[in-house]
Amino acid sequence: MVPCDDFKQAMRHLAGGVTIIATEYEGRRTGLAATAVCSVSADPPTILICINSGASAHEPIRESGRFSVNLLASGQDDIARRFSGEMGIKGEERFTAGAWAPLVTSAPVLESALAGLDCRVTEIVRMATHSVFFGAVVGVDSRTAAKPLIYAHGTYGTFSPDGARLWW
């Protein structure tokens, strides 16, 4: 078995789009920054998210059966930092940056995100320290005028299709 620290170091090389995964449960909003998001199917539209079982949003997502995935744009790394925990901000206070509104399920969607996907949980698979939540996409809000926020090697950057270059 590969040591955990070696695995983590290797995975730092995998660049990923930065998202905010959010939900609302019993009148309270919660969320986290994540790169572990993947498209599963276009027909029907389905995605998956991987959430550590110790994350504050894990149980509210499981209990509410809904979540949003908000794809962040270049320049929104301040929002990513709020939701990553590195600023010490928790719970509802994370949502004081940006305008948030529900689409279909009452999960909060960031209005300025590149895209917001509103999802209903269809299946949950436990795997070691995480749960994989599969979500049927029931609402979409999308923009095309910005570059995506990307995370790799512990820092944020962006990608521009014009000239296909990364900026860190």
pLDDT digits (tens, 9 = 90+) for 95-111: 999 999 999 999 999 99
What is the predicted pLDDT for the residue at 73? 95
Tokens read off for 167: 């900026």
In DSSP terms, 53 is beta-bridged to none
Q: How confident is the model at residue 127 (pLDDT cuts 50, 70, 90)?
A: very high
pTM as predicted = 0.92
* CATH architecture of the domain with residue range 17-151: Roll (2.30)
Give the CA radius of gyration of the chain: 15
Beta strands in 13-161 (DSSP E): 16-17, 19-25, 28-34, 37-42, 45-52, 66-71, 100-102, 108-110, 115-127, 130-142, 149-152, 155-160
pLDDT for the residue numbered 168 = 46
* pLDDT for the residue numbered 163: 57
